[in-house]
Amino acid sequence: MTSTTPPAPARTRPSRSAPRPPSPVPVLAHVMVWGGAATVLALWWNDTPSVVGAAGWLTGAGRITGLLAGYACAILLLLMARVPLLDRAIGTDRLARWHALGGRYTISLACAHVLLIIWGYALESHTGVVHQTTTLVLHYPDLLKGTIGFLLFLITAIVSARAVRRRIPYETWHLLHFATYLAVFLAFGHQLSDGADFAGDRPAQLAWYALYIAVAALLGWYRFAVPVRRALRHRLYVSEVRPEAPGVVSVYLSGSGLAELRAEPGQFFRWRFLTRGMWWAANPYSLSAAPHPAYLRITVKASGGHSAALARLRPGTRVFAEGPYGAFTARRRRARKTLLLGGGVGITPLRALFETLPGEVILVYRARRPEDLALRGELDALAAARGAAVHYVVDEPAAYSSPLTAGALRALVPDIAERDVYLCGPPGMTEAALCALREAGVRRRRVHHESFAL
């Protein structure tokens, strides 16, 4: 383990903003989501004067799970609409975790809805389950479309399962995930055509339409219209590709009016490089330097086909960028002291924050070997300029290795419990760091991390 703690005064100009109180947006979002779910349940309650017999109980449960699944579909799309208010206050990574958790609930509700409705209708009509399934799918309006939508949801759920997702490229997973849009579209007609709670209830139908139209408008604006408008305005292109470490390159991107993007250190874009073999994939890479009016910079390690191809980009290649996204910024700071804890290429957003975060900042950078410490020269220069401390920890050679434990972190940063911690690195390192930070006394709300992988 080596460390640099230069005594020279800072020459950079970090932001002088004071720590901010927690945003109320996450709490309000929870209240609104659960309030909407309660309203959906009230719709069933008001439309159900009584429940009689096993068939009635099964059908009633099927209606409830169907209503909740339909409502959850709209919420899942809203979470991924990249609405700036939600993205900046809650964070892309946190929204993605909510989306993943909600997706599991939605699939469970949809499966329960299908099974309960078929079972309840079969009991009521005194027919077999197979016969009842055929009757529903082939003879009820829009139910064939709903069935196709349900099957698409199941396929998406299987592809999104951790064991499966590890085995397919990120680009393939991201492309297949768009099938959920088609699934929701197909299921929407079935909800209004076959849903007993909507039949003859014009206000309920209008409210359902309003919910889905509002979500569709937000998706269309923030996920498609805004990126296209910004691409036409800023006309980004690759200006330089510079090697930084084995398998690691920095890509400099220039364009027009970059200050208008209002990107912040710690944020990321989804980059689509308009060249052969890369134009169809939009991958998330965080800024590795504070945004500059003349250029943006990302630093990427070759870990797959797309990331490896960045080293072969030619200057002048046009770029389509969506963003900026993420709340991994100075806005999350609650204390006047900060620890930046990075591993591998996770140093990239921390490098930008190290340049700009106000107050007393310590950086701990872990890597496998000394030559894997990307951007080390820049980090040393920034540390010297602002009078900050940077500690390098490598696994090889073993003499410089240090376990990622509470004791090791306290040895490097004795007042760690008093600091905000910005954490970014590989999944294994991040999980170990979270455990170590909790054992070291760092409160959960002061640990800020995003994976940028969703």
State the SS3 of 208-265. HHHHHHHHHHHHHHHHHHHHHHHHHHHCCEEEEEEEEECCEEEEEEECCCHHHHCCCC
Domains present along the chain, CATH in parentheses:
2-17+329-449 (3.40.50.80), 25-230 (1.20.120), 235-325 (2.40.30.10)
SS (H, E, C) 409-446: HHHHCCCHHHCEEEEECCHHHHHHHHHHHHHCCCCHHH
Q: Which of 291, 228, 299 is nearest to 260 (CA)?
A: 291
Pairing mode, if any, of strands 360-367 and 389-394? parallel
The DSSP bridge pattern shows strands 420-424 and 237-245 to be: unpaired
Check residue 161 and give its pLDDT: 77
pLDDT of residue 216: 94
What angle do the packed helices 202-219 and 179-194 form, to 10 degrees?
Answer: 170
* pLDDT given for residue 31 in this prediction: 92
What gap in Å lies between CA 254 and CA 310, rounded to an integer? 16
Q: Compute CA distances 22 → 104, 325, 340, 348, 358, whole Å.
A: 28, 19, 20, 25, 18
List the pLDDT tens digit at each of the 454 positions of the chain.
444 333 333 344 565 555 666 778 888 998 999 999 999 999 999 888 888 889 999 999 999 999 999 999 999 999 989 999 898 888 888 888 898 899 999 999 999 999 999 999 999 898 999 999 999 888 888 889 889 999 988 888 888 777 677 777 766 777 777 788 888 998 888 888 888 888 878 899 999 999 999 999 999 999 999 999 999 999 999 999 999 988 899 999 999 999 999 999 999 999 999 998 888 888 889 999 999 999 999 999 887 777 888 999 999 999 999 989 988 999 888 889 999 999 988 899 999 999 999 889 999 999 888 888 989 999 999 999 989 999 998 887 765 667 889 999 999 999 999 999 999 988 888 999 999 999 999 998 899 987 654 4
Token pair recorded at residue 285: 């890479």
The CA distance from 282 to 223, in Å, is 12
Tokens of 349: 């957003």
Residue with tokens 């010297």: 384
Q: Give the C-alpha separation, 156 to 161, whole Å.
A: 9
- Residue 261 to residue 325: CA distance in whole angstroms: 11
Q: How far apart (Å, rounded) are the C-alpha atoms in residues 166 and 448? A: 25
Q: Rounded to two decimals, what is the model's pTM?
A: 0.80
CA 137 to chain centre: 36
Cα–Cα dist 404/438, whole Å: 12
Structure tokens, 247: 């398998």
| DSSP H or E segment with residue 298 | strand 296-301
Residue with token string 């490097």: 412
d(CA 131, CA 112): 19
